[in-house]
Structure 1
Amino acid sequence: MRKIILAGIGIVLIVASILGAKTIIDNKHKPKPVKEKVVKTVITDTVLNSDVKIVVPANGSLTAKQRLEIYAEVQGIFKTGNKLFKPGQEYRAGEPLIRIDASEYYASVQSAKSELYNSIAAIMPDLRLDFPDVFQKWQNYLSSFDLSKTTPKLPEMTSDKENYFITGRGIVTSYYSVKNLEQRLAKYTISAPFTGILTEALVTEGSLIRSGQKLGEFINPSIYEMEVAISKTYASLLKVGESVVLNDLDNTETYTGKISRINGSIDATTQTITAYIEVKDSALKEGMYLEAKLDAKTETNAYEMDRNLLQDGNQVFVVKNNVLELINVTPVYFSDAKVVIKGIPNNTVVLKKSVPGAYSGMRVKYAKSLDTAE
């Protein structure tokens, strides 16, 4: 009897185990939860077409508008002057930059001037007898003749006889020979043509200077020019005298210049035209790199937006009933970061900030501010 009871209990336990296992297996097949679709938050702007000023950026380095490359036309020893011939040295207009020793050449000039004086003095008795009416003016010329000064111009000849007489004695030839020597003598001193500063010095005092040798560079530091290349599209829009805003590379300083010249030809390789911007400021230095912003033209009934919002095929995303749609537009000008476009109706809601993975038909919602955008 006891065995029968134990066997029954065992059978009951086995059946209960099978039913429990079946229940557990059936409960594992629960339906997967439906994932809620995420609606992206976007930053938008309402289009109001207006006049958009197109500013063309250009850059370049400054060069002095007045520049003098100093070359020697004569040979000699560089004499020490009142100022050292060194970069950074300032000179006033007319002040000597370089003096070359001309003592030997000066002696030959004086000798030629003395010969001219003697030639004129030798004909004075003949002039007194044969040309008494012109004797006095030649006498006055001799009286004003000073060997230490520049040779004065010969008296004007009033008759053919006087001209033949003076020319026949070789006086005119001697005069122009002396003037030629004096012109060359003046080249032993190189003076500053304008007030400026020495930027390069290739010789030092006491060195031997040879004819044709470059001695240095001299500039006027008060006025500079910047050469910029502009697309030929805007060639007809640039005008001489227009103001231009200039910035340094750090955008910390702003200067105002004006277009001083525009090249008359277009570069065949780059299809650009060269413009020259004149700028004056005591803080500027030659070689500084600046960026210019040229007012090219004003585009009417246009809208400006970030360049990365323009899609392939000249399309932009608009928001209609919280759904993104693509519309065709006409871009009229591209800058580094912006694009000016036409063809968007007023009051159209467009994206102000790009949305990763955006597509036509995508549902979105508006953000109250940039900080709330996902």
Structure 2
Amino acid sequence: MRNIILSIIGVLLILASIFFAKQLIDNKTKPKPVVEKVVKTIYIDTVKNKTIPILIPANGSLVAKQRVELYAEVQGVFRSGKKLFKPGQHYNKGETLIRIDASEYYASVQSAKSNLYNTIAAIMPDLRLDFPNMFQKWQTYLNSFDLNKTTPQLPEMTSEKENYFITGRGIVTNYYNVKNLEQRLAKYNITAPFNGTLTEALTNEGALIRSGQKLGEYIDPSVYEMEIALSKSYASLLRVGEEVELQNIEHTENFKGEISRVNASIDATTQTITAYIEVIDERLKEGMYLEANLNAKEEQNAIEISRNLMLDGDQIFIVKDSVLDIINVKPIFYSETTVVLKDVPDGTIILAKPVVGAYSGMLVKPFSENSTTTDNQ
């Protein structure tokens, strides 16, 4: 009897355990949550193809188109002139920039000129007797000879006998020696080659100047050039004489310039081509830093969008039936912030601003002032 009761109790315990376990399993099963459908609010734009000007950005510093580095070719003491040799001093063309004391050298030049005059005068009696038809032109030459002026050119020798006679007396040799001395004497005075301004002075009045010494720099402040280096891919777009828009780095002043020269060779190291922009404006100074936009060409039937909207593989997002899709495009030109595209049909709806986490097939809705965003962009 006892065994029967124990068996019944065991069976009941087993059944109770099974029931309890089933209850635990059923309680763990929860209903699946309903996934909320998220719709991104986006900014859109409708494509309208038009003519897009291709602007190539560049920058550089201004340098005077005409500039001269002043060097001494002779030695002597720097004598003061009518104007001080100081930076900022303006000179007109032909005015003396630097006057070096040449009194000693001048005396040697005068001695050589006097010797030439005496040599010609000594042959005049022989010319009267042996070459009477040549006497008058040499007499005229002597009459025009002035020791205080530049030595005049020798008369033209019209016959072989005259040439032998004059050359044999050493007159031609003496003449060219004198002209050589006169050329060197002229180097004691350095004159302004054009109207301009002294920008650098490396010596002062009274100082001893040595041959080969740099004395300063002189520029024409009316015309400047800006050297720019552009990628070789733009070489075919550059045109001499084309107008260029420039502005200072503060973007407060605008200037007009034009391409004056384009280098025919490409820098092998940087793979860039050098162009020069000529600028004329009274507000400009040498060394001023400017930014330029070169009008390279105009691209027909194209659009311009932010570079942030471009995807890998030359693709962009479009909106079709409230869903994002991807299309292939043809990039024509990249600037720092934008890209010019072709092959985007008119009327296509594209993103106006990039969307974080965007993918093809994403549900979206256009932004409006009355709409509320369900997710941050």
Q: TM-score, normalised by structure 2?
A: 0.86
In 2: Cα distance, 1:128 partner to 1:46 partner: 102
Shift of the alpha carbon at 1:234?
2.0
Aligned to 2:90: 90
Letter in 2 for 1:352: A
Say whether 1:197 aligns with 2:185. Answer: no
> SS of 2:134's equivalent?
helix
In 2: Cα distance, 1:361 partner to 1:287 partner: 55
> SS of 2:237's equivalent?
coil
In 2: Cα distance, 1:158 partner to 1:331 partner: 76
Aligned to 1:213: 213
Letter in 1 for 2:173: T
Aligned to 2:168: 168
Aligned to 1:311: 311
Aligned to 2:322: 322
Say whether 1:290 aligns with 2:290. Answer: yes
Aligned to 2:115: 115
Q: Which runs of 5+ in 2 are unaligned?
A: 1-29
In 1: Cα distance, 2:226 partner to 2:290 partner: 8
In 1: Cα distance, 2:236 partner to 2:332 partner: 17
Q: Which runs of 5+ in 1 are unaligned?
A: 1-29
In 1: Cα distance, 2:258 partner to 2:334 partner: 24
Say whether 1:259 aligns with 2:259. Answer: yes
Aligned to 2:124: 124
Instruction: Tell whether the 8 Å contact from 1:62 to 1:287 is kept in structure 2 after alignment.
Output: yes
String of CA shifts for 1:254-283, please: whole Å, max 9, x gaps.
Answer: 111111111111122222211111111111
Shift of the alpha carbon at 1:38?
4.9
Distance 1:371 1:97, change over 3 A: farther
Distance 1:135 1:371, change over 3 A: farther
Letter in 2 for 1:154: L
Shift of the alpha carbon at 1:358?
2.4
Aligned to 1:276: 276
RMSD: 2.1
Letter in 1 for 2:368: K
Shift of the alpha carbon at 1:41?
2.3
In 2: Cα distance, 1:371 partner to 1:141 partner: 103
Shift of the alpha carbon at 1:144?
1.2
String of CA shifts for 1:280-331, please: whole Å, max 9, x gaps.
Answer: 1111111111111112222222211011111233221211222222222222
In 1: Cα distance, 2:82 partner to 2:64 partner: 26
Of 70-79 and 237-246, deviating more is 237-246
Aligned to 1:39: 39
> SS of 2:200's equivalent?
strand
Aligned to 1:243: 243
Of 280-289 and 309-318, deviating more is 309-318
String of CA shifts for 1:43-71, please: whole Å, max 9, x gaps.
Answer: 11101122222111111111111110111
Instruction: Tell whether the 8 Å contact from 1:85 to 1:204 is kept in structure 2 after alignment.
Output: yes
Letter in 2 for 1:138: W
Distance 1:97 1:372, change over 3 A: farther
Aligned to 2:347: 347
In 1: Cα distance, 2:364 partner to 2:35 partner: 17
In 1: Cα distance, 2:372 partner to 2:130 partner: 112
Letter in 2 for 1:229: A
In 1: Cα distance, 2:363 partner to 2:183 partner: 88
> SS of 1:74's equivalent?
coil
Shift of the alpha carbon at 1:146?
0.8
Distance 1:67 1:369, change over 3 A: farther
> SS of 1:235's equivalent?
helix
In 2: Cα distance, 1:135 partner to 1:330 partner: 88
Aligned to 1:152: 152
Shift of the alpha carbon at 1:37?
4.9
Distance 1:265 1:370, change over 3 A: farther
Shift of the alpha carbon at 1:105?
0.1
Letter in 1 for 2:236: S
Aligned to 1:77: 77
Instruction: Tell whether the 8 Å contact from 1:318 to 1:324 is kept in structure 2 after alignment.
Output: yes
> SS of 2:182's equivalent?
helix
In 2: Cα distance, 1:72 partner to 1:117 partner: 31
| Aligned residue-pair number | 345
In 2: Cα distance, 1:353 partner to 1:136 partner: 95
Shift of the alpha carbon at 1:173?
1.0
Aligned to 2:334: 334
In 2: Cα distance, 1:203 partner to 1:149 partner: 30
Instruction: Tell whether the 8 Å contact from 1:43 to 1:370 is kept in structure 2 after alignment.
Output: no
Distance 1:76 1:369, change over 3 A: farther
After the TM superposition, which residues 23-38 of structure 1 pair with which residues of structure 2 at under 5 Å, given as runs?
37-38=37-38
Shift of the alpha carbon at 1:31?
9.2
String of CA shifts for 1:52-108, please: whole Å, max 9, x gaps.
Answer: 221111111111111101111000000011111111111111111100000000000
Letter in 2 for 1:308: N
